[in-house]
Amino acid sequence: MNTTFTFQIYNSASLLPLEWNSLAVDNIFLTREYLEVLENSSPVNMICHFIGIFNEDKLAGIVLTQFLFAEKLDSFGERDQCLKTSVRNFAFKNFASHVLFVGNNMLTGQNAFAFDKNIKQSKAIKTLHKAINQLKKDLKASGKKVHITSIKDFTAEEIEPLQAEFKNNYTFSTQPNMIFEINKNWTTEQDYIDALSKKYRDQYKRARKKADGIRKQRMSLQDIQQYEDVIYDLYFHVAKNAPFNTFFLARNHFSFFKEIMKDNFLFYGYFLEDKLIGFNTLIKNGNVMDTYFLGYDETIQRERMLYLNMLYDMIAYSINQGFSEIVFARTALEIKSSVGAKPLKMYGLITHSNALINHNIAKLFNYLEPKTDWQERNPFK
């Protein structure tokens, strides 16, 4: 029996089919609510589309895409001011400023799609391929030519069925996703501390001592709204110093997120003498805790080891609440490794609309994705 697979492209979360969330039960980042947050408080240079894949008339797959256009961005990361950066910025603006991501460029991990478990995955992926090609045509018709298409953040096993379908794509590997596995026998932060070797227990004690006098507070929607401008400045400071940036969040992003996602979105403010000096955010995704954006005042961060304290706080909270793992994503690899996160290699596919460039895409990619050398640590006994 030959079933027919079709697709539908939606440009607003409000238009999604009613049964959409039935396929998003294992991933909060594909739910209608999260997609609404994304659409309504997304970076200025991002347009989201959502794709439904149908088997006969039944919804059999849900997909997120993000189209990023760099012309509205002032900074692709200000840290490495050298020749390589200017070359990279030139290359980026001229050959890679219009990027279509199948997946979520703001998160790490497989947040691109979910398929009904009863359908043949290869058929769904073939239909996804057709939908992507149609979306590119639609974007071009509206005056936005896609330079690069990237399907991103899969483990070695997850990428295989995609490689089989998207044959002219280059498979790339980015920075690993840092995953913190929570030991099943831990029930309190003390269990974690006891598992550390002496050197890292000393690091823990030193960091906690430095944070004396800093007050941590879980912030409500009203609190987030009240501090919106300070929060944005703290976020922006960290974001613009990252080695490479393809977007900056909208100013209302966190308050809108809190309003829609409620208790699944946690916002913690760090105060020194009643002044907000830093914050971090967490998203509950089933039994997995995803870390999201953070911000801090650099001068205080250094002196008070604020970032390290935030990592310890996230670990403590996740253990207390019975989560099984924490997704620490892909920045600051070494410090995350020093608290016990392990690297998981992630892969993606990339293709360029220009055949000549596509032929040399590996070289271009290595230019656009700065490599970071880091040393893995093991803090446990």
pLDDT recorded at residue 83: 57
> Does the pTM exceed 0.75?
yes
**Per-residue pLDDT for the chain (381 aa), expressed as one digit of tens each?**
567 999 999 999 999 999 999 999 999 999 999 999 999 999 888 999 999 999 999 999 999 999 998 766 655 555 555 555 666 666 666 666 899 999 999 999 999 999 999 999 999 999 999 999 999 999 999 999 999 999 999 999 999 999 999 999 999 998 899 999 999 999 999 999 999 999 999 999 999 999 999 999 999 999 999 999 999 999 999 998 876 677 889 999 999 999 999 999 999 999 999 999 999 999 999 999 999 999 999 999 999 999 999 999 999 999 999 999 999 998 899 999 999 999 999 999 999 999 988 998 888 777 767 677 899 999 999
Residue 219, SS3 per DSSP:
coil
For 247-263, what is each residue's pLDDT tens digit? Answer: 889 999 999 999 999 99
CATH of the domain spanning 177-344, picked from 3.90.1150.10, 2.60.40.1930, 3.40.630.30, 3.20.20.150? 3.40.630.30
Q: Which CATH class is domain 5-174+346-368?
A: alpha beta
Give the model's pLDDT for residue 314.
Answer: 98
CA separation for the pair 224, 222 (Å, rounded):
5
What sign for the dihedral angle of Cα 86, 90, 96, 98? Answer: positive
- What single-letter amino acid sits at 43? P
DSSP bridge partners of 66: 48, 101
Backbone φ, ψ for residue 72 (5° rounding) = -95, 5
Measured between alpha carbons, how far is 353 from 342 in angstroms, rounded to an integer?
A: 36
> Cα–Cα distance between 59 and 110 in angstroms, integer?
20
214 touches 309 (CB < 8 A): yes
**Rounded (5°) CA angle 170-290-128:** 40
**Element (DSSP H or E) covering residue 84:** helix 83-95
Separation in Å, CA 341 to CA 88, 135, 206 = 31, 37, 19
Domain parsing of the chain, residue ranges:
5-174+346-368, 177-344
Contact present, 164 and 347 (Cβ < 8 Å)? no
User: With contact defined as beta carbons under 8 Å apart, do 173 and 343 qualify?
Assistant: no
pLDDT tens digits, one per residue of 301-330:
999 999 999 999 999 999 999 999 999 998
